[in-house]
Structure 1
Amino acid sequence: MKKLSIIAMLMTVIGMLLWQPQLASADELTGHSHEQGLRYLISKDALVKDAKGSYRPNDNVTRGEFASYLAKAMNLETTSDIVFKDVPDTYVHAKDIKLAASAGIITGYGDGSFKPNAVISRQHMAVMLERAIDYLNIPKGTSSITFKDNAAIFKDYRQAVAIGAQLEIIKGSDGYFMPENNATIGQSSSFIVRLMQLAGDPDASGNSNGGNTNGGDTNGGNSNGGDTNTGSSKYAIKEISNGALVGNQGFSTFEAAEKAVTKNTQVIVQSDKIVKMSSGYVVTNNYVALKSETINDAVAVAANTEMEYLSSDATQVKVRLAGQVGYLKHADVTLIPFSMSKGRSYYSNENGEIKHTLYDYNTNKYSSSYIFGKAPSFMKPGEKYYSWNGIYFTNGNGSSNGEAYNYYQFLPARAQTQYTAQELDAYIMNKLTEIESTGVSLYKDATKKSKLIGLGQTLKDVEAKSQINALLVLSLAQHESAYGMSDHAQNLNNLFGLYVYDTNPLNKKFDSVADNINELVDKFLQPNYITPGGSPGKNFSNGAVVGSKALGFNVKYASDPFWGAKIAGHYYRAEKALGFKDANNPYTIGLTTTTGLNVRTGAATSFNPLFTYARSGMPVIITSSATNGWYEVLSDKLYTGKAFVSKDYIQVVNTVK
């Protein structure tokens, strides 16, 4: 009997050994560190088995394969007549490569080739991904993220890498990006699934293991940072006492803890992270794309941004950013009760000017400040004021508050500055002299080298031709090009970092700065940000002002919620230096109060509409008093005739200037 038992055991072990390889070959992706991404590509028919029946997850990915993955994941359908000499129609990925090229995601090499069978480096992949981000209209901002081996990243690829890292599409390992390393099929699948998660593809939000470490890259797009209830997670109720959390009443579920809260001073925590509170504010831990229910669109939000806390549950937090209401994952934000705040960004009246002082939640210190206009009359010197939207301000206890629209921040782009080309040139030179005197190395010889020198006439020509404020364009150029001293301005006549190419990313060289400005106006501002409705498929038109996250270019142009105010600051400083000609003879600004408002060619509903404002709160310039119940306004659509809008749907606002 003993011998029979031993024989039986041996047979069982042998059977198990024989069975294991069969299990592995039946599903080689189970438990793979990039399983989620790999299965996503399979679901899109982008990844198929080779002749040996393998998906080859650990093989290096080629340029042709990666282009094909992107084309299929993004459901690209439109093709043009782009042809690469080394991609014949018989090539396995020929159709997808053509689709990706037609979408502007790939451009190939200067000799007309694409090199589809060449393996792709991680930094080169980042360039393609950034172009896909633009195609999908995923909000992004200018990122300062760097890696320990940043110097090893080809200089003109660094922004693409930083954008991908900021969006958590790509990551490194131990602070290194390893730009020259080739990416595997598994890694590339994780990059793409994260991209499509940001794009809102429901097929990309699976719950498998995808995207843990492999080759130094981790998945930042699917983790809840421990905030999901796995069954073993515990919640606790703690009480705020003298700015600290005390007590530890435990609960097995969020719902049970929520029912047990009896005081406003109590919060619910999970792993020492506050997940619910009665009142306070929310700070973003990293770049996020807030899906705004208010405008039904994604809004880019930079790290370290303060937002109103509305509510939360076990998985997400409801927030409001400058009126935009949406939801974010707990892993993306930190909840801060007012009574536990160590510091907040604030506004103040400094010698009659409004100053915004920013707080850095990483260091718990005030980090920087800027002035962007005159202080509203209700702001008392020596007091701190807070605002969720840069329009309504309160000193915290309600004893001093009010509404204020900064003139330069909410001045529509169709306004015409009263300064001449000569005055603009004089201001530019005075400003360059000022920054050169700071001794900052970037500004060395600015008065001789800056690409802003002599731009006055070009700016006034653009204003006359395109009906876009010359001083506004100059303010954008100053902000985006470090006063014309950035590398792209100096080397490429590119004040705005326009365009990215496979072989020359961010290196489109313009023949002149004038060409670069015209490109910005004709290809970006005019069709997408100023003209109501924007270009087909590009929902960027939220008001023809630099604005804020509430309205204007800033809603979609930059993740920095104060980008619009900072541009306004450049305009204000120019005005201050030149004598406030624009402020002393200001335009009257109004806001629309309803959706679907028509702007017409005449002062009656019988006249044809020029265009329609899809959303309310759109700023308009009123050029004459109301006649028969209609205001004459400047058209946001490029148009030389008169435009009219019903007075009943316009609220005139008082601007601070």
Structure 2
Amino acid sequence: MKKFLYFFILPFVLLFGLGAQDVSASDGLENKYFKVPMRELIELGLLKGTDKNGVIDFEHDKSIPRAEFAALMVRVLGKENMTVTNPTDFTDVPKTYWGYTAIQQAAQLGIINGTGNGKFSPTANITREQIASIMNSVLEKQGITLPVKDLSTYKDANQVSSYAKLSMERIVGAGILAGSNNELKPKDNATRGMTSAFLVRMLDYAKPVYYVGTVTANEKKQGQQYGSYAEAKVAATGTNEVVLKYKKIVSMKDGQVTNSTLAPTVNLWNDTTFNHVIIGVASGTPVEFLESGRNWVKVKFGKKTGYVKIREAKLIPSVQVKGESFYEVREGLLRHFVYNAHTQKHESYLFGRSDADMPNGRYVSENGSLYKNNLTGTTYEAHQYFNKLPLYTKTSYTAEDLNKYVRENKPSTLGTSVLENMGAKFKEVEEEHNINAMYLLAHAIHESEWGTSKFSKENFNLFGIDAVDGTPGAAKFKSYNEGFEAIIKRLTNPNDGYFTKSPFRYHGAFLGNKDLGMNVFYAADPYWGQKIAGHMHRMDVALGGRERNKYNIAVTLTKGATTKVRSTSTVSDNLLYELTVTGSPVLVLDTVVTEKEGTWYEIVPKNLNGTDYKKAYVYSHGASYGTNMKLLDLAKE
């Protein structure tokens, strides 16, 4: 974090300063009552913390002196650069005082007065009724009159000072200030957390302040002030010009978007009414900026286009982008370097083998299948077998193979793992429920740190069930067997499973990513499916390479209609089930060329929940039905 000079001389500049600090969960507010409004003010650049030996303290419980609050209100009005033409002679506010200008601006604006006898009392803590009076005055200056509420129902209504009575009636009537236990507590000092809540609610009524700003690689500067978002957006025509709401970028030409501190993930909504979330991706994931409105940002991630709420978005103009994700090929191995826009660092994982014709170097890919070489611009198609493998299949590896893999390949720093002796359980689940044991072990390795994480051991939750980003509600079980029962149900529940026809969870019974597959809704990490596929690849290599590319994989192409799976290679009264998601992969066992009905694929049947289909076929191409299937170009070394 940035350290500031003049800490003892200019405390207000540190507390309610000009620029927003990049704050994450390490802001010390995570368990504080008013963390949300404080973070919102931090995002707008209105609230800063004190640098204490390199740690930023936002002093949630500290009372606010009158001088600091006066300066804050001046900043909210966008008047911090206003020239004072008729200064008030407060005897306790000399020109050398750090808050002199802000206090004089507030007095000239008529939003705050002295305390009598020519004094301002800058260090006196401000009370709840004084805040109500000042906020009402600010809103009146903007031509806003709030609704009035009768205060007689509050037990301490008679303690409200006469000068603050109307203001309190309005501020309470608007819901900006709320009492507790049927008390207003008008004489109580206001803390920074409490004041942040009041201010955020007030901003819902106040006229926001917008600027056209200029951005360079490492800073942004306010320019001309405008009365509305629309006016500022029209005026921001320069290449590196942006629209600022106070100090927060709310519109730009191009760049990255990630989550603000007000959201644990980047949620892409269906439209600007925010009816439902299309996908959510992990904190710090950069998504592509497309356009913005007053309350929304339109973005793209992979094949998905959606809208992010502006208050939950952090906009990073192209000139300030510090990195992006990329893939790297080295000696036939494909590694993914994932960029985090918050930390501005990369983390990597092994995805699998590259295709034989992909030269060493860096590549970009939106979907983990099509790769564009950074140097030559050549595009290569190379699907990873384990990422597209239907998971209702069986592996040839035995229980002892799986145990051996864990024993010999877990990081030496982790100690003994419960997974070292669970091979029989994984194979039992595979045999009884048709869930691939190799996948299930890889899933457990990824979610439980090879079965050694404190959470997985204390809660018998090896599979990250209900471990939602930003919430503490991950599932707890009484035994590992109960945890296995839960993942089986979560995957195969006929009405709500990741392998079945769930309207929410089902996007294809394979790992995938945020375009298709379990990854769409199982995990916020957009590369969760690819990382588990990477574990499966390493497992296969260590155990002899008997699984990778063992069969061809084909995907459905039909849009707006289901793909019918039949018991024989002909269209008749032989329907077994339907594949409802376009792009669903199937494991191809054989190709059948018919005389009149084109080419069909014999596939591994989807035998879940007691079904026992002996043979299964899908029509591919070559007849009047059109082209229904595509064989994937699997990565081959």
TM-score bracket for this pair, using the shorter chain length: 0.5 to 0.7
Task: Note closer, same or farther for the CA distance 1:401–1:505 as it changes in structure 2 (3 Å cut).
Answer: closer
For 1:600 and 1:221, locate their aligned partners in 2 and report how far apart those are by CA, in whole Å: 57
| SS in structure 1 of the partner of residue 612 of structure 2 | coil
The equivalent of 1:98 in structure 2 is none
| SS in structure 1 of the partner of residue 521 of structure 2 | helix
Residue by residue, what CA displacement relative to the aligned partner does 1:557-578 show, whole Å, maximum 9, x if unpaired?
1111111111112111111211
For 2:325 and 2:195, locate their aligned partners in 1 and report how far apart those are by CA, in whole Å: 32
Choose from 531, 537, 543 the match for 2:499.
531
Query: How do 1:450-469 residues align onto structure 2 when only pairs under 5 Å count?
Result: 450-469=417-436
The equivalent of 1:424 in structure 2 is 402
The equivalent of 1:546 in structure 2 is 511
The equivalent of 1:234 in structure 2 is 210
Say whether the 8 Å CA contact 1:308–1:388 is kept in structure 2: no
For 1:552 and 1:470, locate their aligned partners in 2 and report how far apart those are by CA, in whole Å: 18
The equivalent of 2:564 in structure 1 is 599
Residue by residue, what CA displacement relative to the aligned partner does 1:245-300 show, whole Å, maximum 9, x if unpaired?
56834433332333345454543333343322332221223424322469975423
For 1:318 and 1:425, locate their aligned partners in 2 and report how far apart those are by CA, in whole Å: 47
Which structure carries more relative contact order (alpha carbon 8 Å, separation 6+)? Answer: 1
Residue by residue, what CA displacement relative to the aligned partner does 1:502-560 show, whole Å, maximum 9, x if unpaired?
xx9844212xx4553243113444544443312xxx51000111111111111111111
Amino acid at match of 1:371: L
For 1:219 and 1:591, locate their aligned partners in 2 and report how far apart those are by CA, in whole Å: 56
| SS in structure 1 of the partner of residue 249 of structure 2 | strand
The equivalent of 1:583 in structure 2 is 548
Task: Note closer, same or farther for the CA distance 1:299–1:651 as it changes in structure 2 (3 Å cut).
Answer: same
The equivalent of 1:393 in structure 2 is 371
Task: Note closer, same or farther for the CA distance 1:216–1:323 as it changes in structure 2 (3 Å cut).
Answer: farther
| SS in structure 2 of the partner of residue 344 of structure 1 | coil
Unaligned runs of 5+ in 2: 1-23, 41-56, 62-172, 181-190, 468-472, 621-626
- 1:403 and 2:381 are equivalent in the alignment: yes
**Is 414-423 or 558-567 further displaced after alignment?**
414-423
Say whether the 8 Å CA contact 1:531–1:636 is kept in structure 2: no
Query: How do 1:117-128 residues align onto structure 2 when only pairs under 5 Å count?
Result: none
Task: Note closer, same or farther for the CA distance 1:590–1:498 as it changes in structure 2 (3 Å cut).
Answer: closer
- 1:486 and 2:453 are equivalent in the alignment: yes
Task: Note closer, same or farther for the CA distance 1:251–1:376 as it changes in structure 2 (3 Å cut).
Answer: farther
Residue by residue, what CA displacement relative to the aligned partner does 1:316-373 show, whole Å, maximum 9, x if unpaired?
1011222122111222222223333122222212332222223333333x25221121
| SS in structure 2 of the partner of residue 236 of structure 1 | strand
The equivalent of 1:88 in structure 2 is none
Choose from 343, 365, 386 the match for 1:363.
343
Task: Note closer, same or farther for the CA distance 1:324–1:340 as it changes in structure 2 (3 Å cut).
Answer: same
For 2:252 and 2:585, locate their aligned partners in 1 and report how far apart those are by CA, in whole Å: 36
- 1:640 and 2:620 are equivalent in the alignment: no
The equivalent of 1:63 in structure 2 is none
Report how far residue 498 of structure 1 moved.
Answer: 5.0
For 1:328 and 1:479, locate their aligned partners in 2 and report how far apart those are by CA, in whole Å: 29
Query: How do 1:66-215 residues align onto structure 2 when only pairs under 5 Å count?
Result: 209=175
The equivalent of 1:56 in structure 2 is none
The equivalent of 1:30 in structure 2 is none
The equivalent of 2:581 in structure 1 is 615
Residue by residue, what CA displacement relative to the aligned partner does 1:140-190 show, whole Å, maximum 9, x if unpaired?
xxxx9689699x99xxxxxxx9xx99x99xxxx96999xxxxxxxxxxxxx
Q: Number of residues paired by the alignment?
A: 448
| SS in structure 2 of the partner of residue 453 of structure 1 | helix
For 2:213 and 2:29, locate their aligned partners in 1 and report how far apart those are by CA, in whole Å: 43
For 1:221 and 1:377, locate their aligned partners in 2 and report how far apart those are by CA, in whole Å: 58
Which of the pair is proportionally richer in helix? 1
For 1:221 and 1:381, locate their aligned partners in 2 and report how far apart those are by CA, in whole Å: 54
Say whether the 8 Å CA contact 1:623–1:634 is kept in structure 2: yes
- 1:301 and 2:274 are equivalent in the alignment: no
Task: Note closer, same or farther for the CA distance 1:376–1:467 as it changes in structure 2 (3 Å cut).
Answer: same
Query: How do 1:216-235 residues align onto structure 2 when only pairs under 5 Å count?
Result: 231-235=207-211
Residue by residue, what CA displacement relative to the aligned partner does 1:364-413 show, whole Å, maximum 9, x if unpaired?
3x252211211345654343x33333333335577233333222122110
Say whether the 8 Å CA contact 2:562–2:580 is kept in structure 1: yes
Choose from 306, 322, 333 the match for 1:326.
306
Say whether the 8 Å CA contact 2:27–2:58 is kept in structure 1: no
- 1:470 and 2:443 are equivalent in the alignment: no
Say whether the 8 Å CA contact 1:595–1:615 is kept in structure 2: no
Amino acid at match of 2:516: L
Task: Note closer, same or farther for the CA distance 1:346–1:626 as it changes in structure 2 (3 Å cut).
Answer: same
For 2:305 and 2:338, locate their aligned partners in 1 and report how far apart those are by CA, in whole Å: 23
Say whether the 8 Å CA contact 1:532–1:612 is kept in structure 2: no
The equivalent of 2:251 in structure 1 is 276
Report how far residue 425 of structure 1 moved.
Answer: 1.9
Say whether the 8 Å CA contact 1:622–1:631 is kept in structure 2: yes
For 2:206 and 2:507, locate their aligned partners in 1 and report how far apart those are by CA, in whole Å: 41
Task: Note closer, same or farther for the CA distance 1:452–1:653 as it changes in structure 2 (3 Å cut).
Answer: same
- 1:508 and 2:477 are equivalent in the alignment: yes
Say whether the 8 Å CA contact 1:529–1:542 is kept in structure 2: no
Counting aligned pairs with the same residue, the percent is 28
Report how far residue 473 of structure 1 moved.
Answer: 0.4
The equivalent of 2:328 in structure 1 is 348
For 2:562 and 2:275, locate their aligned partners in 1 and report how far apart those are by CA, in whole Å: 16
For 1:645 and 1:429, locate their aligned partners in 2 and report how far apart those are by CA, in whole Å: 41
Amino acid at match of 1:555: V
| SS in structure 2 of the partner of residue 408 of structure 1 | helix
For 2:219 and 2:197, locate their aligned partners in 1 and report how far apart those are by CA, in whole Å: 32
Task: Note closer, same or farther for the CA distance 1:614–1:233 as it changes in structure 2 (3 Å cut).
Answer: farther
Amino acid at match of 2:432: K
Residue by residue, what CA displacement relative to the aligned partner does 1:224-244 show, whole Å, maximum 9, x if unpaired?
999989534123153x56676
TM-score (norm 1): 0.59
Say whether the 8 Å CA contact 2:511–2:517 is kept in structure 1: yes
- 1:251 and 2:251 are equivalent in the alignment: no
Unaligned runs of 5+ in 1: 1-143, 154-160, 178-206
TM-score (norm 2): 0.61
Task: Note closer, same or farther for the CA distance 1:539–1:481 as it changes in structure 2 (3 Å cut).
Answer: same
Task: Note closer, same or farther for the CA distance 1:342–1:147 as it changes in structure 2 (3 Å cut).
Answer: closer
The equivalent of 1:139 in structure 2 is none
Question: Could you say what the CA RMSD is over the residues aligned between the two structures, in angstroms?
Answer: 4.3
The equivalent of 2:486 in structure 1 is 519
